[in-house]
Amino acid sequence: MSKKKWQIREEIFRLFHSIGRASLLCDLQDSHSGNMAMRWRNESGEELIVITSTGSQKGDLEPNHLCYLSPNETDFGYYKASSETDIHVGILSLPGVKASMHAHCKEVVMATLDDQPSPKSLPPFMPIDPLAFYHLGAEIPVDWFAVPSGSPEMAKTIPARLAEHPVTIIYGHGAMSRGRSLKEAFFYLSLVNNAGYIVRLLERQKINLNELRPKIKAKPESCFHFKPAPYNLEIDGRCDFPEEEEILKEFRKAGNRIFESRLSPFHTGSISVRGVDYLLYAPQASMPYEVGGPLLKLPLTASEDEDDRELELHRKIYAESNFQTIMHCYVPEAEAHAHYIYSGENQPISRIIPVDAEGGFMYLSIPVVGPEVKDEQLIRLLHDYKLVVIRGGGIWAVGSLSVSEVLHHPSSLREICLYRLAAIERGLDLRKMEPEKAKKW
């Protein structure tokens, strides 16, 4: 094998290894589940399909666990191409598609289970969070298959679904996605699993999804803070400040912690640090070490044609404050708990009051605002509280010193919400557990 060919195959392996490892870390896979595939053109101009072998551990891939096949070849057997190769070949034949991925996505599988007799005709899954709604659509297909692994029926149905949707759900088995890159395919699976988790958290709180979903579908702009920017391939691998070793280390540590602690799905959220007349910006903040994400150096003042709402909000906060760091995450527990309604009331909560010792030590209360919140109001609340939850818009946090300081806010908030959600599940009365002084704060 030539040196150049070896290097290319090494790069492909590192990509598959990093995505496989990340999918295991965020619990999209079990030790051996799922498969990944991508199109690749070799030195001779021959187009090949690179696909993980059957039985391989996606979180611990070895180079010999990747198979290089022609688009019309299937090589089954132990440590041979996945038994779902035909499905991947069909997906990869779609216009513009260069990668496909299957993962068990346990949360959305659990959210779509039903007890109807087979064969099943299933309604689509309807997300209630902004990430899934805008990136995946208001309705995500769910299909039941008599043989839900590698069957001819799947090879026919799934590519047809993915011609119209970025992700599709296989009843009781997981989900499949397509993308312009393997990272984008993983991004979509992360979002659909996160959406399933949020729906399950809402169900535990007895939120009426039959009322909430039609409202979102009819008028999403009144239910979500803003529409997230599309997944951006053009900035993949970009680093504008490689010489800033210390701040690079801080960005990468925080990004990895956001991902591994599930404070925001893969390549979502944002982090920034203020400079003199610039900001250092991570627009895909949830980034595991091995995969990484873009790190940009941008003017502190927006240009007139600025169309990135998230970046615009970072700049507005800096313009109206002395904060040095900002973080935006989509903490699923906070997104779900922001819809909670106390017994006897008819409106969702306007504050989250910690019922645990450490949460109560750090915050008397955390404001929850609706998606219609104006920028000026959000900035005032950040001055007072340093942390704000937006129903349908994630959480915003600010700091005066470092990225590590601001990371503490979403990390603490997740635990605070977990304890409150556990109290609800156990039938406890949150209002009896909340300190009286916090209710006036």
Dump pLDDT digits (tens) for 12-64.
Answer: 999 999 999 999 999 999 888 889 999 998 777 888 999 998 888 888 888 88
Do 38 and 123 reside in the same domain of the chain?
yes
Q: What is the mean pLDDT of residues 347-354?
A: 96
* DSSP notation for 27-58: TSS-SS--EEEEEEE-TTS-EEEEEEBTT--G
Length of the chain: 441
What pLDDT does 8 receive? 62
pLDDT band at 385 (very low <50, low <70, confident <90, very high): very high
Domain that holds residue 152: 3-222
Residue 234 belongs to a domain:
no
Q: How, if at all, do strands 366-369 and 387-390 pair? A: parallel
What pLDDT does 72 receive? 67
Do 300 and 383 reside in the same domain of the chain?
yes
Q: What is the pLDDT of residues 278-303, one digit of tens each?
A: 999 999 999 999 999 999 999 998 76
What pLDDT does 247 receive? 95
Mean pLDDT, the chain, as a whole number? 92
What does the alpha-carbon distance between residue 225 and residue 222 come to, in Å, rounded to a whole number? 8
What does the alpha-carbon distance between residue 30 and residue 37 come to, in Å, rounded to a whole number? 18
CB 250 within 8 A of CB 404: yes
Do 203 and 268 reside in the same domain of the chain?
no
Whether the pLDDT of residue 440 is over 80: the answer is no
Do 298 and 399 reside in the same domain of the chain?
yes
Phi, psi of 209 (to 5 degrees): -70, -25
What does the alpha-carbon distance between residue 66 and residue 50 come to, in Å, rounded to a whole number? 7
Q: What is the mean pLDDT of residues 349-374?
A: 95
What pLDDT does 291 receive? 96
Give the number of domains in the chain. Answer: 2
Do 271 and 366 reside in the same domain of the chain?
yes
Do 210 and 263 reside in the same domain of the chain?
no
* Cα first-last separation, the chain: 68
CB 393 within 8 A of CB 343: no
Residue 101 belongs to a domain:
yes
Q: What is the mean pLDDT of residues 237-246?
A: 94
Do 193 and 310 reside in the same domain of the chain?
no
CB 325 within 8 A of CB 310: no
pTM over 0.85: yes
What pLDDT does 79 receive? 41
Tell the residue number behind the tokens 């030195």, with chain if given: 43
Do 207 and 268 reside in the same domain of the chain?
no
Q: Which of 18, 17, 107 is nearest to 63 (CA)?
A: 17
What pLDDT does 106 receive? 97
Residue 186 belongs to a domain:
yes
Q: What is the pLDDT of residues 426-439, one digit of tens each?
A: 999 999 999 988 77
Do 201 and 274 reside in the same domain of the chain?
no
Residue 231 belongs to a domain:
no
* 3-state DSSP assignment of residue 3: helix
Q: What is the pLDDT of residues 191-212, one digit of tens each?
A: 999 999 999 999 999 999 999 9
What does the alpha-carbon distance between residue 202 and residue 13 come to, in Å, rounded to a whole number? 39
What does the alpha-carbon distance between residue 67 and residue 76 come to, in Å, rounded to a whole number? 10
Q: What is the mean pLDDT of residues 165-180?
A: 97
Whether the pLDDT of residue 218 is over 70: the answer is yes
Task: Give the dihedral sign, CA 338/197/123/394.
Answer: positive
Do 78 and 176 reside in the same domain of the chain?
yes
CATH number at residue 9: 3.40.225.10
Q: Which of 128, 145, 146, 144 is nearest to 136 (CA)?
A: 128
Do 189 and 264 reside in the same domain of the chain?
no
Whether the pLDDT of residue 76 is over 80: the answer is no
What pLDDT does 81 receive? 57
pLDDT band at 5 (very low <50, low <70, confident <90, very high): low
Q: What is the mean pLDDT of residues 262-277?
A: 97
Do 162 and 310 reside in the same domain of the chain?
no
